[in-house]
């Protein structure tokens, strides 16, 4: 008989000192749990520790809460910034889009065939363009136009924030959402808003990066998945990749060619986020990927 | 005052069970050591645990031996296959070559400028071709011709083995050494002999892989760094990479183009080996690379 | 006033000799056409010439036929294997699928948003699984089951061939179609049937390549787009690419990860075919890609 | 009996119009020459044609001069910017270096083993550091220190220019030469000075790009080979590539890791230049690479 167990993940960071791993591992072993994966890294410049442990906690789902409560005192002792994920919990991901549909279509397809084991409570858009596609997948679509007039714009973002909050999301993906989030919105969902920028940052910040790339005559174009912060396209980078272009490629052809790299970079970045592989450290990320 | 400490690495594998990490981490913490990096992975099919810990052991170099002795009983308890590396110890790497010099020239250059912090006790070759290059770097060069006649061939490999043993190597690199090691030689230095094969294995096993690649009309060629076993080009793979070729590339041009990928793949593979990032598991490798 | 013109492409191969390019270019210039792109390559081993010219022929679409007729005598003079494509003609691509939908979903999406300027007369499948998806795009879906019993199997392939012929296709894409075409079917549509194989050929020919890859412990997995011939997975390669995997990736995770590279490799290969960039030469391809 | 012939390459650009290719190909055929490779591209925005033809001109080397003279009138007719290369002529490449030796060591090694079929008339450096290495290869080494004081600096660059001119170079490679060429020096050898910049431009222009990369937290670092112009790191890009880095990589480790990509990008870029595959167009390059 296979006894019941809970597959959990602990992700944490704290000031470095002797005995952290021993304390945490002993705590986990004391609960009878088998550690199946572990990553630890110390940033020697700042003296910060980063950890990610996967483990099987014996018992029913009721054990999780008591594990969390008991661990809280360990965490306090080491001044940890921490979270515990249930590996089989379907995380909730809100998607924001404008008119380009390739990232949206990619994520919805991967979700539908079960490659992306998430729930998508809703899609929010400042346009009506992609409603049909989203309808086909049976997902609620919220149209929140974002006018240029400041007060109306603020109201639109408030409504956007309300819809996001209502969805209780683990991640908010700007899947080619062409509006700039105000500072307060970035803060509100800090380290949960993931953007895909269609260039190899820090090259070609801002609008029309493919046109900038074509203008500069680069031989590779790229895409960058990053957390959104107050500074446009300056947030902590999660993942990047590039693809080769030719002298004969116009900006339009680069756009077409870039879609694949945008999709793979965004989906890898989102997956790293959901799997607790990314820990933000200042304006950079620790990425545990093995 | 900065107190003295020893930077060590523990690399181990053992049958999986609850409490391994706790026991090991507690042991390390009990020695007052700070764990700066950790990787752990459980192969669920075989139920095997693999670990790699980096830590700073306080005290002089004399502490290392007592650490080793004390840890032996922990290791025994968990039936571990283990080793402890001193991070600042300059590992000893013996190079074997035939006539092609690109891998040799690459490794020697990286060694000379300090990128590869190793000692190279000697270079062994079945040809005299590369003696001048090796002389320039001030490294002993042993010429051990390998005749076709079976008894003479065996004698040549015995001499090769003797020279290798004398060098007390942590790694033996076949840097385009064009002779096939007999089984007993593979066994003697098991998991220490690293070969670079000039194809993306398992494609193009054996002789003249670039000619095979040209014949088949592939669009990418590659290189594979692997541990040598009794089965030609079948050993556990450490690292691989590829590079694009064109329809107009002859086998000769592929050879030229392939040199770069051979060099980077070999040097990455060797580095992973030296840094204790590779653990052999059956005919595959666990690669801790973050 | 912009005068009307026809954007054409001439793709040809012939035995090499002095004056081919001069003859062809003079013929084209004699028609008042502006050559906007040209590639030429001579395979010196076989003495074969391969050419691809893009040009703007002045006049209405009626000019194309007379160009073709007049060029036929030039072609005959040089014993050319040739074709002329109308660049703005929407080529017809028949898709064959089984149960995996990622390649199909990818191609249909790119087609719908106009990135792939083709007509898709129908989708043929040996399963009913993907009918809904295809219906949504408004494309006819033909279910042709392929039984194991030899006579019934032959009948199924005859029906498949009939449906393909009816569609008058410029390309037939096996978008993860899990049946092996009989020889006569390969011959019937020679150099028009494009397959995506989910490995970096010639590694992992045949069934379950991701499982083979996981078994062998490779560090990169790949995909290969090739023309289908009588020999399974041995046809001329059009395009290949790879993606990195980790020791912790199961065959299932490789399958998920491999989908992106399958999609990009297939779509690049198909595009090269449609744009007349690929010329088959023995069991290899000439690929004009700049 | 194989008759003598000259392997030549014509590289040219001119305003687009009907009949260019016909005129050029007819001229070449009229000389009895067999065209073995051809690339042509029209930039439709500027209406400019770019061509590259490889051909075998029958007869001895004396035929080349008369070919050049006769072609001059064709070139004038089409207002061509043109050059004719002898494929087997060993082009002359002057190398400039400072203290980092990896690019120098790479190019010298490839030259010595015959992979790079060039002559290296001399190496010029603002330091004495690399004299020994260059001596070993038997190549003259000129030490030209570049003081900070403006007049002395100008004098140093004049001496540098004199040494370059004396070498009659086809290419001048800044193989990690850490001085900025004054405008007049850039102009003097326009489109012949090739620099390797250790970042993926336009990211991280200027000093210490690896430190900038580490600071920004990018997941890939790169290298860019470009022609030097008056604007620092802004010249036409010839070739670029990238390599993955980890969160644990310091700027120093990135430097080590970046050396391989610098070497391959520089050597590919230099090779494209020498093979006449690159044509500068405004601040971009046409790259004929198949």
Interface list for chain A against chain B, based on CB atoms closer than 8 Å? 16-26, 28-30, 32-42, 44, 51, 287-290
Residue of A43, A233, A241, A249 with catalytic role = A233
Distance from CA of D187 to the nearest CA of B (A): 33
Query: Which of A109, A256, A290 is the closest to C115 by Cβ?
Result: A256
> Bigger pLDDT: D61 or B96?
B96
If phi over 0 gives left and psi between -120 and 50 gives alpha, with beta otherwise, what is residue C38? Answer: beta
Both tokens assigned to A240:
């990047």
Can you give the pLDDT at residue A2? 58
- Of all residues in chain A, the one with the smallest CA distance to D286 is A247
Strand pairing class (D123-125; D118-119): unpaired
**Structure confidence at residue C3 (pLDDT):** 73
In tens, the pLDDT along D145-193 reads 999 999 999 999 999 999 999 999 999 999 999 999 999 999 999 999 9
Does the pLDDT value for residue C106 go beyond 50?
A: yes
Cα separation of C196 and C180, whole Å? 13
Contacts of B109 in chain D (CB under 8 A): 102, 105, 109
Q: Give the DSSP per-residue string, D217-234.
A: T-SEEEEEEEE--SSTT-
Q: What digits encode the pLDDT tens for the residues D28-53?
A: 999 999 998 999 999 988 999 999 99
Neighbours of chain A (3+ CB pairs under 8 A): B, C, D
Q: Residue B207 class from Cβ within 10 Å (0-12 exposed, 13-18 middle, 19+ buried)? A: exposed
The 10s digit of each residue's pLDDT in B73-95 is: 999 999 999 999 999 999 999 99
- Chain C CB contacts of B202 under 8 Å are 203-204, 216, 218
In this predicted model, what pLDDT tens digit does every residue of A83-101 receive, in sequence order? 999 999 999 999 999 999 9
Task: Of B22, B59, B60, give the one whose Cα is nearest residue B38.
Answer: B22
Is A174 within 8 Å of A193 (Cβ atoms)? yes
Chains with 3+ CB–CB pairs under 8 A to D are A, B, C
What pairing do the DSSP bridges indicate for beta strands D284-287 and D278-281?
antiparallel
What is the per-residue pLDDT across C108-148, written as a single tens digit (0 to 9) for each?
A: 999 999 999 999 999 999 999 999 999 999 999 999 999 99
Cβ neighbourhood burial of A151 (10 Å; 0-12, 13-18, 19+): exposed
- Average pLDDT of span B253-264: 96
For the segment A39-85, what is each residue's pLDDT rounded down to a tens digit? 999 998 899 999 999 999 999 999 999 999 999 999 999 999 999 99
Residue A1 pLDDT > 80? no
Of B18, B35, B287, the CB nearest to A21: B35
d(CA D239, CA B244): 14
Cβ-defined contact of A101 to C113 (cutoff 8 Å):
yes
Residue to test with chain B: of D106, D134, D287, most B Cβ within 10 A? D106
Render pLDDT for B192-206 as a digit per residue (tens, 0 to 9). 999 999 999 999 998
- What b-and-e string marks burial along D93-115, b requiring 16 or more CB atoms within 10 Å of the CB? bbbbbbebbbbbbbbbbbbbeeb
Average pLDDT taken over every residue of chain A: 95
Q: What is the CA radius of gyration of chain D?
A: 21
pLDDT band at D2 (very low <50, low <70, confident <90, very high): low
Q: Are the Cβ atoms of A264 and C259 closer than 8 angstroms?
A: no
Read off the pLDDT of each residue in C255-266 and give the average, rounded to a whole number: 96
CB-CB neighbors (< 8 A) of C44 in chain D: 36
Contact state of B248 with D102 under an 8 Å Cβ cutoff: no
Catalytic residue among D43, D81, D115, D233: D233
| Whole-number percent of chain D with pLDDT over 70 | 99
* Three-state DSSP class for residue B66: helix
Q: Residue D248: which of A288, C174, A170 has the closest Cα?
A: A288
Q: How far apart are alpha carbons B235 and B225 in whole angstroms?
A: 9
Q: What is the pLDDT of residues A140-178, one digit of tens each?
A: 999 999 999 999 999 999 999 999 999 999 999 999 999
Two tokens, residue B53: 């810990």
Answer whether the bond into residue C202 is a cis peptide, omega within 30°.
yes
Closest to D247 (Cα-Cα) out of D218, D223, D210: D218
Quote the radius of gyration of chain B (alpha carbons, Å): 21
Give tens-digit pLDDT for B4-46. 899 999 999 999 988 899 999 999 999 999 998 999 999 988 9
Please answer yes or no on whether A289 and B288 come within 8 Å at the CB atom.
no
Judged against a pLDDT cut of 80, whether residue D3 lies above it is answered with no
Say whether pLDDT at B177 is over 50.
yes
Chain centroid, CA D42 distance in Å: 22
Q: Choosing from B101, B170, B233, B290, which is the catalytic residue?
A: B233
Residue among B174, B182, B173, B257 at smallest CA distance from B213:
B257
Locate D183 and state its tokens: 């405008």
Torsion-angle region of C49 (φ positive above 0: left; ψ -120 to 50: alpha; else: beta) = beta
- Determine the pLDDT at residue C289: 87
Is the CB of C242 less than 8 angstroms away from the CB of B246?
A: no
Residues 6+ positions from D215 with CB-CB distance below 8 Å:
none
- Can you tell me the distance from the alpha carbon of C54 to that of C168, in angstroms, rounded to the nearest whole number? 24
Residues across chain D: 290
Give chain A positions within 8 Å (CB) of C264: 260
Closest residue in chain A to residue D42, using alpha carbons only: A248
DSSP secondary structure string for all residues of B143-184 = E----SSHHHHHHHHHHHHHHHHHT--SEEEESS--SPPPHH
At residue C221, does pLDDT exceed 90? yes
- A260 an active-site residue? no
- Answer yes or no: do B38 and A40 touch at CB < 8 A: yes
The string of DSSP letters for A91-145 reads EEEEEEE-S--HHHHHHHHHHHTTSS-EE---EEESSSTTHHHHHHTT--EEE--
Q: Locate the chain D residue with the closest alpha carbon to B264.
A: D260
Alpha carbons within 13 A on the beta-carbon side of C141: 20
State which residue of chain D sits closest to C58, comparing Cα positions. D18
């Amino acid at each position: 008989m296979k006894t019941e167990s809970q597959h959990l993940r602990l992700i944490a960071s704290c000031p470095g000192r002797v005995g952290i791993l021993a304390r945490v591992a002993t705590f986990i072993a004391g609960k009878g749990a088998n550690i199946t994966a572990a990553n630890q890294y110390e940033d020697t410049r700042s003296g910060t520790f980063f950890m990610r442990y996967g483990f099987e906690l014996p018992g029913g789902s009721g054990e999780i809460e008591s594990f969390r409560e008991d661990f809280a005192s360990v965490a306090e002792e080491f001044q940890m910034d921490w979270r515990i994920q249930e590996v089989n919990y379907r995380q909730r991901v809100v998607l924001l889009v404008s008119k380009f549909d390739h990232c949206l279509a990619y994520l919805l397809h991967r979700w539908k065939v079960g490659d992306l084991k998430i729930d998508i409570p809703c899609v929010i858009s400042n346009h009506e363009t992609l409603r049909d596609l989203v309808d086909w997948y049976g997902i609620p679509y919220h149209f929140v136009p974002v006018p240029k007039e400041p007060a109306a714009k603020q109201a639109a973002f408030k409504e956007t924030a309300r819809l996001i909050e209502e969805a209780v999301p683990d991640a908010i993906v700007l899947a080619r959402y062409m509006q700039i989030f105000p500072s307060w919105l970035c803060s509100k969902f800090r380290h949960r808003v993931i953007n895909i920028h269609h260039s190899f940052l820090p090259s070609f910040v801002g609008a029309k990066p493919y046109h900038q790339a074509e203008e500069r005559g680069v031989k590779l174009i790229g895409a960058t998945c990053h957390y959104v912060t107050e500074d446009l396209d300056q947030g902590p980078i999660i993942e990047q990749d590039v693809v080769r272009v030719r002298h004969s490629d116009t900006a339009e052809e680069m756009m077409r060619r870039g879609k694949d790299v945008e999709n793979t970079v965004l989906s890898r970045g989102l997956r790293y986020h959901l799997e607790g592989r990314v820990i933000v450290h200042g304006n950079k990320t620790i990425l545990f990927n093995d």
